Chain A
Amino acid sequence: MTDANGAPATPVLELHGVSKTYADVHALAGADLTVRRGELLAVVGPSGSGKSTLLNIMGTLARPTTGAVRVDGHDIDELTDRELSALRATAIGFVFQQFHLAPGVRALDAVADGLLYSGRPLRRRRRLAEQTLRRVGLGHRLGHEPHQLSGGEKQRVAIARAVAGAPALLLADEPTGALDSRSGAAVMELLHGLHRAGTTVVVITHDREIAAALPREVRLRDGRIETDTADGGGRTGPTRADRPGARDRRALREARP
């Protein structure tokens, strides 16, 4: 973890000694984790291992009981709730297991709504949404509502919503959990494509097979980080590329099936 000589990229996410306690349950205990720009990693563990807690803390949806969290250069301990919201609006994209697509809302509007709190005007949100949907291979589904889409397509809409604003960090919580294996594989291929072009992706999963297929694997058990393949100095992400936004767009193009 030396950062002086030849570290590949600046950290997007840093956790130092992060613990989270609910009542007297230690959901997370002393977690250290650094995610660098452009990485693709899996946080894997059985249910109850603290995955969700870790995700919430990484996504700034919850604050740790103790420890320090830095996201995209911001120490979240120093941010107010409003500032955290602004950070989520610009720097973090979320993908959920159950998609969270509102019924009756067209794919285009769902993705455009993902940019609502980023301050872009409506017309730009729509244009960006359309571009992003085309790049995840849903150009022919712009006007479709969730009930007209397959599970895999829904998750691709949700991914498009998460990455349309080119966030520094994409957090995917069990992205294949509600999908059959074929759709799941397609979704994972999409995430790989995003990563190949430089998007930083953290996949939270209980599926060891999926985790093993990713360049880096962080295993959680009972609220502790058991192993982190990055410590072995093995797999790392791509080198620093050009601007994050440009990389993300290229990633989306490549990810297109």
Chain B
Amino acid sequence: MTATAPPAAPARRLRPARLSPLDVLRTGGSGLRSRPARVFLSALGIAIGIAAMIGVVGISTSSTEELDRKLDALGTNLLTVAPGETVGGGEAHLPAEATEMIGDIAPVQSVSAVGLTEARVYRNDRIPAEETGGIGVYAARTDLPATVGARVTGGRWLNTADTAYPAVVLGPDAAAQLGVHAAGPGVQVWLGGRWFTVVGLLAPTELAPELDAAALIGWPAAEQEVGFNGYATTIYTRTEETAVEDVQAVLGATANPQEPTSVEVSRPSDALAAKEATDDALNGLLLGLGAVALLVGGVGVANTMVISVLERRAEIGLRRSLGATRGQIRTQFLCESLLLSALGGIGGVLLGIGVTAGYASYQGWPAVVPLWAMAGGVGATLAIGALAGFYPAVRAARLPPTEALAAR
């Protein structure tokens, strides 16, 4: 009499329907839409971390870009030659004909030289002799500005007519030290025991910063008026861009065939680049801080998701009763976590771009944020979202439907 099951209806296999990717996104997003304030705050944590990292990378890239542009403008083909020390340890000097010899190297486009004299320069003749202010008096060839890229801001450069006369051009630091604000016939400084007329002032010279604190006088005047020995102490040379390294290799031997090793050859643009590179340590520190912020943001997302799962047990139960599989519940919460972090990531990238643009425009730099940094930022947040959402999603999926429904 007990009811036996009727000849089983041809039992069709039950198979859960797959949700379309769009449905997965909609379901994942539904949990976010109903809690905008919490979503904003936990996405903010992620955004700050990403913004910090994007900002650091962006600012450093922008500064490099600025340097590249500067070097493009200044040229990287300037080489300098200076006497080093002799094998015996004494101070060497370059042979008198060194400048001409370098000028004869085929790819060399221009060559010029300065020679440090022992003269001192003062604001006037009543200043005590020891207060030199660190200004060097140099003999300079008239073709110096063209080779090193120096610019005159006031007055004019030394010309062939006045090189034998007491005329001087001051670098910007030297001018400031001597209290000279303008060049002209009435402006004089006390140099080597006699008055020199300031005929010109220089702008800062990026590739030859030693000229900023220099008083430059004509070569003949130096020899006649202040007892200059006539040996160049720095030779500047511009080379064809493609031959810079070849020329650099032979400069020592060319300048001083007897003692090639006593010659110091350098490329000022390298020094400029190296100076910029010293900021790497600071960048590393800031990147580390950004990473910590990102980690904290990730913990915030995990926390939000755990709370969300606890609060939404009834919803989970309802979805299970509507036919959601455990996998679909897991996917929903994972998707929600990913969306939450992605929101923070995209916000952070935008914020980082804003910070970079602001700082770069303040510095007068071009603003550059590399694409890899943006992609990396969003990618990192997705990884964090997956990690942060994994445990809560698994918990949500494990919840028995009856228990979930009993929650109020």
Chain A interfacial positions (CB closer than 8 Å to B): 1-3, 10-11, 14, 16, 32, 34, 56, 59, 61-62, 70, 73-75, 79, 81-90, 92, 94, 96, 98, 100, 102-105, 113-114, 116-122, 161
Whether the pair A118, B5 counts as a contact (CB closer than 8 A) is no
Measured between beta carbons, the chain A residues less than 8 angstroms from B22 are: 122
Query: Which residues of the other chain, A, contact B8 by a CB distance below 8 angstroms?
Result: 73, 75
Q: Is the CB of B405 within 8 A of A61?
A: yes
Q: In chain A, what residue has the closest Cβ to B33?
A: A104
> Is B20 within 8 A of A85, CB to CB?
no
Q: A61-B401, A61-B402, A121-B20 are in contact. Are A89 and B6 (CB under 8 A)?
A: no
How far in angstroms is the closest Cβ of chain B from A33?
10
Is A10 a contact of B6 with CB atoms below 8 Å? yes
Instruction: Judge whether A100 and B314 touch: CB under 8 Å.
Output: yes
Query: When the two chains form their complex, are residues B1 and A117 in contact, meaning their CB atoms are under 8 A apart?
Result: no
Query: How many positions in chain B have a CB within 8 Å of any CB in the partner chain?
Result: 41
Chain B 373-408 against A: per-residue CB contact (8 Å), 1 yes, 0 no?
000000000000000000000000000111001001
List A contacts of B15 (CB < 8 A): 82-83, 86
The answer to whether A85 and B23 have CB atoms under 8 Å apart is: no
Distance of A82 Cα from B8 Cα, bound (Å):
21
CB <8 Å contact, B321 and A94: yes
Given A14-B5, A75-B5, is A117 in contact with B323 using a C-beta cutoff of 8 Å?
yes
- Assess the B405–A118 pair: CB atoms within 8 A: no
Q: Are A3 and B400 in contact (CB under 8 A)?
A: no
CB-CB contacts of B320-346 with A at 8 A, as 1s and 0s? Answer: 111111111000000000000000000
Contact A118 B326 (CB under 8 A): no
Per-residue CB proximity of B3-39 to A under 8 Å, as 1/0? 1011011010111111110110001001001100000
10 contacts between A and B (CB under 8 A): A10-B6, A62-B402, A86-B15, A87-B14, A87-B323, A88-B321, A88-B322, A90-B323, A104-B34, A105-B34
A residues in contact with B9, CB < 8 Å: 10, 73
Complex CA gap A34/B23 in Å reads 37
B322: chain A residues within 8 A (beta carbon): 88-89, 94, 113-114, 116-117, 161
- Among B326, B328, B408, contact of A117 (Cβ-Cβ < 8 Å): B328
Q: Using CB atoms, name the residue of chain A closest to B9.
A: A73
Whether B2 sits at the interface, judged by CB under 8 Å, is yes
Shortest 5 CB-CB distances between A and B: which pairs? A89-B323, A119-B17, A117-B323, A73-B9, A86-B14
Q: Given known contacts A59-B321, A117-B17, is B30 in contact with A105 (CB within 8 Å)?
A: yes
Closest Cβ of chain B to A252, distance in Å, is: 19
Question: Is B315's beta carbon under 8 Å from chain A?
Answer: yes
List of B residues within 8 angstroms of A161 by Cβ: 322
Q: Which of A85, A104, A114, A121 contacts B325 (CB 8 A)?
A: A85
B318 CB-CB contact with A under 8 Å? yes
